[in-house]
Structure 1
Amino acid sequence: MSSPTGEIYRIDWLPGTDVLHGTCHCGREHTAKDPVEMWEWMLAHPQGHQLQGNEPQGNSS
């Protein structure tokens, strides 16, 4: 999905699981089972996560 400003948000379903893997336009990644939780995390940028390089990448809330 792209926002009007050209930012790309990507959410993939991990086959064989109930897990979603999201990648924000800034490069941060997050996993969640709840799609609402995933979108809230994505759209909370920059609250909820820091720019890549400031924190370890991976499952963060």
Structure 2
Amino acid sequence: MSSSPTGEIYRIDWLPGTDVLHGTCHCGAEHSAQDPIEMWEWMLAHPEGHSPSAPQGNSS
């Protein structure tokens, strides 16, 4: 487990018997990957990539 300078907690668990890492961001979003670099990039890109983009409204 690691935390950022702002106190946010990021958790990465290894799934025993596999090469898969399972990450949980401080916002509750989850992601699995085999590449540790991919996992950290996903975590540190918060909030980008953590949830679907909000629909864009019409500007009038």
- TM-score for the superposition, normalised by structure 2: 0.80
Question: Take 1:2 and 1:36, find their aligned partners in 2: how far apart are those partners?
Answer: 16
Question: 4+ residue stretches of structure 1 with deviation over 6 A?
Answer: none
After superposition, give the CA deviation of every residue in 1:2-60 in whole Å (9 maximum; x if it has no partner). Answer: 11111000000001000000000000000000001100100000111128xx8xxxxxx
Identity of aligned residues (%): 83
* Structure 2 stretches lacking a partner, 5+ long: 55-60
Higher RCO, 1 or 2 (CA under 8 Å, sep at least 6)? Answer: 1
Instruction: Pick the structure with more strand per residue.
Output: 2
SS of the aligned residue for 2:40 comes to: helix
Greater gyration radius: 2
Letter of the aligned partner of 2:7 in structure 1?
A: G
1:1-61 → structure 2 map (5 Å cutoff): 1-50=2-51
Number of corresponding residues = 52
